[in-house]
Structure 1
Amino acid sequence: MAVLTIEFDNFLCFDNFVADFTYPKKLVNSSLKNECLKKFPNIRVRKANIIIGSNASGKTSFGRAIWHVFMFLKNKEAIKITSLIKNVNKDTNILMDYIDADGLFSRIEILAKANNQGIDVKIRQLEAKPNDTYEMLVKRLPNDVLFENYIVALEKIIPLGWNFVFPSIESGGFELIYCDFIKEEEKPLFCKIFKNVLIIMDVSIKTVYPSNEVENSYIIVFVDNTKIHISHGDKINEIKKLSSGTKYAANIAQILFCISKYKNGFYFVDEQFSYVNSDIEIACLSKMISLLGDSEQLFFTTHNTEILNLNLPIHSFNFLVKEKNEDGVQIKWLNASQFEKRNNVRIKNLYDNNYFDISPNVNPIFDIGESC
């Protein structure tokens, strides 16, 4: 499954927000192969979506909003939408276009009516033809479909695959989260990936293996043969002997494992490397991208601008910007290709020179200590 477009209005911190994950023109000699649907080569989808933004620019909120939409589609629970409504006195509108590997194109529109008057959903679907583009699909969408109660409408939805990993503070109390659905025969591969991530973060770690006593638990062994036991749901701040960055190794390993096994299709990795060395973050991200299968997407948020040096298409780099307006603030989604069409330009140089006009204003910091 590939998500093509998302729109939010009056949802969480987003108003009149549009994010497009397609690109219009086939790239020559692109460093990232197969950025299209295998059976539908003219439907071009950005596989790698690097999201950079200043503090409080909406990176985690963006992932959280998408996650709540996916949960709503899966579980048909109104609370997944109503809990994120920004202003209950206004309608909330959400739109998502996506397509599966076999060419079933879906447009889902969610309307949460003002003052808690209920949620209606409109679902329009059609089968893609071999030469279709995204724009052609949108034009062919039927116009005779009406909004209906979400319980009825969502019966038409085929379950979607997704994997979201948020910072521990966003995931419910600093909990360690990794695959609790790993099959027995898959555990050797997961342990190998887990070990490789652990040993690059901490040279005092020797190996890791699954616990035979506790389900969904692993034993980390150090070079001095001391051991620690970790389990799914453990409180990260209570895990002893691991550094702040190393504690995130399990989350990083589970994402690498799931991508390598094509388990989910849509991956959102949010701020998992805040305590991790820049070179390690870049290496892990590069491997995640290289492991992506056909019709799969990775969304990756970071503060590390060194990632802008990666050899990726210019449209892989996105920026979230919070701007003041008459109503307060608005968050905008900007793609680097909106500013620079050439694919051989070093994005990092443009960013360092504030070409995208998104650098934070740090002058108030330098005013500290100055006389009033």
Structure 2
Amino acid sequence: MIVLDLKVDNFYAFKDFHVNFSYPKKIVGSYIESEHLEGRSNFRYKKVNIIMGANATGKTTLGSMFMDIFNLIDKKNYSYLLDSICDKKKSATFTIEIASDTNKMYRVHCVIAAKKQLEYKYTAEDLSIHVDVVDILTNDSYEICARKLDEMADYKRKTSFQDELDKIEQLYWLFESPLDFYDEYSVPGKDSLFLNILDKVMRALDPAIKSVTKVPNIDAAYAITINNMKIILQNGVKLDTQYLSSGTLAGIGVSRVLYSIMRGKNKFYYCDEKFSYIHSEIEKAILAVMIEKIRPNEQLFFTTHNTEILEMNLPKHSFLFMKKSQYDDESYIECISASSLLKRNTDSLKKAVENDLFGTAPSTELIYEIEELA
């Protein structure tokens, strides 16, 4: 499952928001392998998406929007979207384009009508969903398939939204966000690979951790040995967190993502700011492993504030910068691809960010005004 394009209006803080995850020109000698659909070398997509931006610019919200859409498609339940509507007095829309392993490209167009009155409760009649699909032929590019979908678009069809969503194949995704900082964790069992990943990540994050071992005779339970104490990490059981730092705890979620990528458990991965408490060198190393291990027809989204990642040997189109602008009483979120402004191979991405070419640097004026307070 590959996300190729997303348009959103009136969900969360998104107004007339648009971001595209394809790229037109083949990159020679790219560090990222197979940045196209398997068997469709002209159908190029951004396999790795590094999303950067100041606070409150929509990095986490973008992941939430993806998750709402995926849950709608998977569970055929529109309630996932209702709480995400920003202004219920107006209609809310999204259009998403997805490519599948079976070489099909889907376009899902959804409209939720404006509330008729404040106390009105939404019904299925307020939801309009249309799904169009085309086969991706051997020599097709994303642009060719998008034009085919343009030609067949007919948003006046009258069918149930469940019937429309049934056209789409099974989706597989994994989200890890800073909101996943729970006392209870979901961890796999009976797989030595997860144990080995967890052991190496946790020991890298905290030298005081001597080992991570499997708890005998208990499924999905691991013992973290630190300073001669054993902390038990068990699936669905409250974890004693007082002896582990915030960065070390984040390592549990990071290990889940690494494990899922290395086992090919999912197709779409959204790893959102799991490294706020982790050293930048370890973050770069873990990201490098994720990129190395992600498979064909898979896609990684990775949000970060770590500007050292700009120096990694990645294509410029892998970097997306989110910004929020204020116009009168309205705020707008936009997503800028680095490759849209930096056209030459010699252009320095880090210098562009340092010079705020993308307009994403946070405002510090109000902070310095504190100096003037009595």
Q: TM-score, normalised by structure 1?
A: 0.93
Q: Which range moves more in the overlay, 120-129 or 207-216?
A: 207-216
SS in 1 for 2:245: coil
SS in 1 for 2:216: coil
The CA distance in 2 between the partners of 1:225 and 1:325, in whole Å, is 57
Match runs of 1:305-324 below 5 Å:
305-324=307-326
What displacement does 1:234 show? 5.0
Code of the aligned partner of 2:198: F
Tell me the residue number matched to 1:216.
Answer: 220
Tell me the residue number matched to 1:281.
Answer: 283
SS in 2 for 1:318: strand
The CA distance in 1 between the partners of 2:68 and 2:238, in whole Å, is 23
Q: Is the counterpart of residue 131 in structure 1 residue 139 in structure 2?
A: yes
What displacement does 1:241 show? 1.3
SS in 2 for 1:126: strand
Code of the aligned partner of 1:120: S
Tell me the residue number matched to 2:166.
Answer: 155
SS in 1 for 2:95: strand
SS in 2 for 1:96: strand
The CA distance in 2 between the partners of 1:319 and 1:232, in whole Å, is 36
Q: Residues 40, 123 of structure 1: CA spacing in aligned structure 2 closer, same or farther, 3 A cutoff?
A: same
Match runs of 1:1-372 below 5 Å:
1-115=1-115, 116=122, 118-141=126-149, 142-144=152-154, 146=157, 148-167=159-178, 170-171=179-180, 174-180=182-188, 182=189, 184=190, 187-222=191-226, 224-233=227-236, 238-370=240-372
Q: Deviations over 1:324-349 (max 9, x none)?
A: 01451000011101110123432111
Q: Residues 71, 249 of structure 1: CA spacing in aligned structure 2 closer, same or farther, 3 A cutoff?
A: same
The CA distance in 2 between the partners of 1:257 and 1:103, in whole Å, is 26
Identity %: 34
What displacement does 1:215 show? 3.7
Q: Residues 144, 368 of structure 1: CA spacing in aligned structure 2 closer, same or farther, 3 A cutoff?
A: closer
The CA distance in 2 between the partners of 1:136 and 1:326, in whole Å, is 39
Code of the aligned partner of 2:297: S
Code of the aligned partner of 2:171: L
The CA distance in 2 between the partners of 1:229 and 1:64, in whole Å, is 30
What displacement does 1:233 show? 4.1
Code of the aligned partner of 1:163: L
What displacement does 1:303 show? 1.2
Kept in 2: contact 1:39–1:101 (CA 8 A): no
CA RMSD in angstroms comes to: 1.8
Tell me the residue number matched to 2:119.
Answer: none
The CA distance in 1 between the partners of 2:339 and 2:223, in whole Å, is 45
Structure 1, unmatched stretches of 5+, are: none
What displacement does 1:83 show? 1.3
SS in 2 for 1:156: coil
SS in 2 for 1:148: coil
Kept in 1: contact 2:323–2:359 (CA 8 A): no
